[in-house]
């Protein structure tokens, strides 16, 4: 299952996401989460991701957290130890070379 999260990912929306992920885990369904469309995330969002990551790992169910979290949410990811959600910074020279080749 692939979930592309969008909009607000705050405590008000976490119950629905938690239930969806709980069902995927119960079915032992490999799950991939994308964060590119998240406009807002609070501590509850990052805490849920930590709990989900642990739960999937404990049951050896594949979970992929895409490193596509928008830049304005990087601090929250870093604060909770989820730096893997942040895209790796591309060196300036590599970015220039990539743009030139397009």
What does the buried/exposed string (b/e) look like for 44-82 if buried means 16 or more CB atoms within 10 Å of the residue's CB? bbbebbeebbeebeeeebebebbeebbeebeebbeeeeb
Domain ranges in the chain? Answer: 2-92
Please state, in angstroms and rounded to a whole number, the distance separating the CA atoms of residues 54 and 50.
6
Q: Is 4 helix (H, G, I), strand (E, B) or coil?
A: strand
Determine which helix (DSSP H) or strand (DSSP E) holds 41, and give its type and residue range.
strand 31-41
* Of 42-46, 76-80, 88-92, the least confident: 88-92
pLDDT at site 95: 41
With respect to CATH, is domain 2-92 assigned 3.30.750.24? yes
The pLDDT score that the predictor gives to residue 13 is 86
pLDDT given at position 9: 93
Q: What is the pLDDT of residues 81-99, one digit of tens each?
A: 888 888 875 444 444 434 3
Residue 86: per-residue pLDDT: 87
- pTM, rounded to two decimals: 0.79
Mean pLDDT of the chain: 86
Report whether pLDDT(70) > 90.
yes
């Amino acid at each position: 299952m692939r979930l592309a999260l969008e909009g607000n990912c705050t405590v008000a929306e976490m119950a629905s996401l938690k239930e969806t992920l709980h069902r995927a885990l119960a079915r032992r369904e490999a799950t991939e989460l994308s964060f590119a469309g998240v406009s807002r995330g609070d501590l509850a969002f990052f805490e849920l991701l930590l709990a989900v990551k642990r739960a999937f790992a404990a049951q050896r169910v594949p979970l992929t957290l895409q490193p596509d979290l928008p830049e304005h949410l990087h601090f929250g990811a870093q604060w909770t130890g989820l730096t893997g959600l942040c895209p790796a910074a591309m060196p300036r020279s590599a970015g220039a070379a990539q743009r030139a080749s397009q």
